[in-house]
Amino acid sequence: MDIYGANGHAKVIIEIIEELDYEVSNIYDDDLSISTTLDYSVNSVYNSSTNLFIAIGNNLVRREFVRKFVRKFNISTYPILIHPKAVISKRATIKEGTVIMTGVSVNSEVKIGKHCIINTNASIDHDCIIDDFAHISPNVALAGNVEVGEGTHVGIGACVIQGVRIGKWCTIGAGAVVIKDIPDGATVVGNPGRIIKIKDINE
């Protein structure tokens, strides 16, 4: 399997691939100052691959690379990576390009979109919907029937009560407790969570 990205997030991706007994074939990154990561060489010139995982932590940058690879190399399918110590309901749906890290729990009829990051020890309860390019950080707890919009980053240790809808490209701060719906582009902090700014996601 090839990997695009060679920074901290990529190190976790590499170790998941190793845990799954897959081979890391090539690692690529635009940053010419990175020549190795973990025990692997890093190349700056990407050659088209049919088995590529995009290991970029920033949601917006990850989306831009997906679009770039579609335009330039016609890559439209990506593997799914699930750490063997994650617990995933057989009724959950997970789409391509998504990684689920160690200790994660995903319960019944959860739907997780494309190129999402479900990070260490996150808990996602029944009937949640996580849209494309979202990042659910370590130790986040989502109660049942929560919706998280495209590109939204739910910060480390945040909690969201049941039935809440969080819009697209939001930032939920570390440790925030979200008890009501959040509009697109909002930044939320605190307990209870309060909106401190809203950006135009169409900019």
Q: Which residues contact 64 (CB under 8 A, 6 or more apart)?
A: none
Which residues have a Cβ under 8 Å from the Cβ of 41 and sit 6 or more positions away? Answer: 27, 35
5-37 CB burial, b ≥16 within 10 A, e <16: bbeebbebbbebbeeeeeebebbbbeeeebeeb
Q: Which of 146, 151, 182 is nearest to 166 (CA)?
A: 182
> Active-site residues: which are they?
126
